[in-house]
Structure 1
Amino acid sequence: MNDKVLSIILGGGQGSRLYPLTESRSKPAVPIAGKYRLVDIPISNCINSGLKRMFVLTQFNSASLNRHIKNTYHFSFFSSAFVDVLAAEQTPDNKGWFQGTADAVRQSMHHALRHDFEYVLILSGDQLYQIDFNEMLQAHIDTNAKISIATIPVTEKDATSFGILKTDDKNIITSFIEKPDASLLPDWTSPVSEEMKNQNKNHLASMGIYIFNRDLLVELMGDESTIDFGKEIIPQSIDKYKTLSYQFEGYWTDIGNIDSFFEANLGLTDDIPEFNLYDYKQRVYTNARLLPTSKISGTHLDKAVIAEGCIIHAAKIQRSVIGIRSRIGKETTVINTYMMGNDDYESLNQIANSKIEILAGIGDRCFIKNTILDKNVRIGDDVRINGGPHLENQETDQYVVKDGIVVIKKHAVIPKGFSL
């Protein structure tokens, strides 16, 4: 069955809601959990499900994404497996950028159709979840569906933020509404499990994960007036083609903005995190960097996730994720912070022979709270950054404040004694 499926991972648009993390990289290339990239999540879900033919579609700042995928996903020469990045390209038939999710697939179909497949699995590149796609595929085949949509039960409060589907008792979708007004929701409940009912999760939200039969997708892609799956193709197809709702009850979150990105990463520090990085059967793959172990001296750690290759002398790290090759100086406190780490080490010779005033990482006697530190930042000694709702939204060359979260930009240098 696995050899009948081709996976297409949508890289998303410009990622403006994740700015400045997307200032110099595409959304799927944004680092998460200290050592991974967002794109590793859908790719890993596919690999764990035995689906090893994948296209990743992107058009903005795709250089680092290309590099990550090239360095990470190597398959046997004797295998048909691949992960290929398809960036928007001008052709004789098309001279424009991707206009939406469906348009991205349409423009890339000539690459897909070179392969033999019966089903297309379409995924988003900016979600955090662990799912066995074989179960969804089997349900699709067993019901003779033309389209299947992964859905997740949500509460009335959350339902207004999603595309909501209505199903019959056989999980066949009968209607769809995009981000409904709260007053409409009593008419948009669907059959869910007793466990979900007990949590008041009676509405089914689309997860943006689709299975299409090959012939139907080719037919739908012929209509160039439709540019988006969620807004056009799905609502227009429900009445015409048998569309299955595949209910998923595990952890799933859409990394749509800085706030959800921040909370998803800090959630990994919980004693039993909702997203389980320690599941051997659902492992998350990424670049095997062969880094040394982390070295920690005199630091009080409380709910801290520390990636490999770090050198830490901090006084305290609390509810924080510390990424690869991070350096944190003496008497420094880090709270509620995601530090992405560094791409390289500064050697002792470089430090001794150069005029680097501020080393990569965080200096001595600093206080960092409610902050995201992008890759390769340099924070001088005695810096105080205290994020929170008391700060107004603002942007400078070195940092952005969004909803109380301070984001230090990639390669930014924060001078000694700075306070925010």
Structure 2
Amino acid sequence: MINSKVLSIILGGGQGSRLHPLTEERSKPAVPIAGKYRLVDIPISNCINADIKRMFVLTQFNSASLNRHIKDTYHFSFFSSAFVDVLAAEQTPDHKGWFQGTADAVRQSMHHFLRHDFEYALILSGDQLYQMDYAKMVEAHEASGAEISIATIPVNEKEATEFGILKSNDESVITSFIEKPDASLLPDWTSDVSDDMKAQGRNYLASMGIYIFNRDLLIKLMNDDSTIDFGKEIIPQSIDKHKTLSFQYEGYWTDIGNIDSFFEANIGLTDDIPKFDLYDKSKRIYTHARMLPTTKVAGTTLDKAVIAEGCIIGAAKIEKSVIGIRSRIGAESTIIKTYMMGSDYYESLQEIDEKRINILMGIGQRCFIKNAIIDKNCRIGDDVRINGGSHLKDTETDTYAVKDGIVVIKSGATIPHGYVI
């Protein structure tokens, strides 16, 4: 079976500074998305759906919550070889520093990979939102006799300047590569894409940062420690030396690189027909199984709302918003274009009474919240007004940050009664 030949390596990314403050206390792959999942669930679920069940997740910053999530979530049979293991950067006699880039992360972890039998290494990013059948990519790689395969996605002229752009021949073999080309160079970099893509003006093939390497070639490339990054060094240097296949993907794909793209990806789930389909059984997204009660809603007008389980909602209105697990929203509050991540636990009435908790976890009464991300376990008092938008300057305080007009309430923050942002 083809997928027993594959070992998956999921790159957790660096410090995730562009996703700050969501990455203040957690690694990028551990950031909650869609109200109940974590970013790392996406590549892991894609692997499981393709029957690829041997996975390493590489990370080096704030990996405790990621470790806990993976340990609590991904349990396979004792009699199978399946696993999901987190590898944090570690000092060894050969490597005494942090991961310096994507290739360096794989190089420093090779001694773990080589304990396993595999023919192909599938290298993935831990911070992208998409649903791809990796099995088809592996089959295309094997059938073509390639040594490297790169997943590519057609992009338009505006987007092309932000990506590594590839050109391929009639057999989908990549012949040339350019990193973030100037717009003036683009006429020479169009590729053969489907009629549907042409109709959308998506004539350029961008690298998705998803690679397959033959085992022997990966070992050889990792022995050269002068290279630290796949996209900037190893791929451009390998195209002329090793047969490199373009595997073209035309579905939904977004790189969760900053607060703006993260916000839009989550709010996009409220569309009538969302581009990222959580309802397709064949592309199921897996996450930690929680035994939560059903959500309870009283007196609330809901319009394009995605609401996870275990919530208690008394809001007046929720519009174009994603409400995460165990969220509590008080009476007469209005929530518009907001991603509320929810809470990790419930506060009992006894606990509230004994600790004399003045501001409960969740959103209080008579609040107005728009264009915001509310991280886990936040307490927002009554009569709070948060109105994000382009009129707000980027700023950061102990309890919240503003980035690109989006107000991000930090994990565990308390916003006092009547506060205005």
**Aligned-partner SS, 2:10:** strand
1:178 paired with 2:176, answer no
Structure 2 residues not aligned, in runs of 5+: none
What's the C-alpha RMSD, in Å, of the aligned pairs? 0.5
Give distance in 2, aligned partners of 1:297 and 1:163: 50
Match of 1:10 in 2: 11
Output the TM-score relative to the length of structure 2: 0.99
**Aligned-partner SS, 1:115:** coil
Q: Which amino acid aligns with 2:381?
A: G
Deviation at 1:391, TM superposition (A): 0.3
Deviation at 1:351, TM superposition (A): 1.4
User: 1:106-140 CA distances to partner (integer Å, 9 max, x unpaired)?
Assistant: 00000000000000000000000001111111110
Correspondence list, 1:241-256, <5 A = 241-256=242-257
Give distance in 1, aligned partners of 2:141 and 2:270: 36
Give distance in 1, aligned partners of 2:5 and 2:336: 48
Match of 2:209 in 1: 208
Give distance in 1, aligned partners of 2:385 and 2:195: 49
Q: Which amino acid aligns with 1:30?
A: V
Q: Once superposed, which parts of structure 1, at least 4 consecutive aligned residues long, lie more than 6 Å away?
A: none
Correspondence list, 1:193-342, <5 A = 193-342=194-343
Give distance in 2, aligned partners of 1:277 and 1:237: 37
Q: Which amino acid aligns with 1:351?
A: I
Correspondence list, 1:11-160, <5 A = 11-160=12-161
Q: Which amino acid aligns with 2:109?
A: S
Give distance in 2, aligned partners of 1:279 and 1:356: 42
User: 1:260-298 CA distances to partner (integer Å, 9 max, x unpaired)?
Assistant: 000000000001000000000100000001111000000
Give distance in 2, aligned partners of 1:36 and 1:27: 13
Match of 1:415 in 2: 416
Q: Which amino acid aligns with 2:158?
A: K
Give distance in 2, aligned partners of 1:175 and 1:244: 11
Deviation at 1:218, TM superposition (A): 0.2
Deviation at 1:352, TM superposition (A): 2.0
Q: Which amino acid aligns with 1:416?
A: H
**Aligned-partner SS, 2:228:** coil
Deviation at 1:168, TM superposition (A): 1.0
Deviation at 1:94, TM superposition (A): 1.2
Q: Which amino acid aligns with 2:14?
A: G
Aligned length: 420
Correspondence list, 1:331-410, <5 A = 331-410=332-411
Give distance in 2, aligned partners of 1:89 and 1:352: 45
Deviation at 1:170, TM superposition (A): 1.3
Give distance in 1, aligned partners of 2:399 and 2:353: 26
Q: Kindly, what percent of the aligned residue pairs are identical?
A: 78
User: 1:211-233 CA distances to partner (integer Å, 9 max, x unpaired)?
Assistant: 00000000000000000000000
Deviation at 1:169, TM superposition (A): 1.5
User: 1:342-387 CA distances to partner (integer Å, 9 max, x unpaired)?
Assistant: 0000001111222111000000000000000000000000000000
Give distance in 2, aligned partners of 1:346 and 1:83: 32
Q: Which amino acid aligns with 2:13?
A: G
Structure 1 residues not aligned, in runs of 5+: none
Give distance in 2, aligned partners of 1:56 and 1:89: 14
**Aligned-partner SS, 1:151:** strand
Deviation at 1:92, TM superposition (A): 1.3
Deviation at 1:71, TM superposition (A): 0.1
**Aligned-partner SS, 1:388:** coil
User: 1:196-251 CA distances to partner (integer Å, 9 max, x unpaired)?
Assistant: 11111100000000000000000000000000000000000000000000000000
1:192 paired with 2:170, answer no
Q: Which amino acid aligns with 1:396?
A: T
Give distance in 1, aligned partners of 2:13 and 2:91: 18
User: 1:291-349 CA distances to partner (integer Å, 9 max, x unpaired)?
Assistant: 11000000000000000000000000000000000000000000000000000000011
Q: Which amino acid aligns with 1:382?
A: D
**Aligned-partner SS, 1:253:** strand
Give distance in 2, aligned partners of 1:201 and 1:213: 30
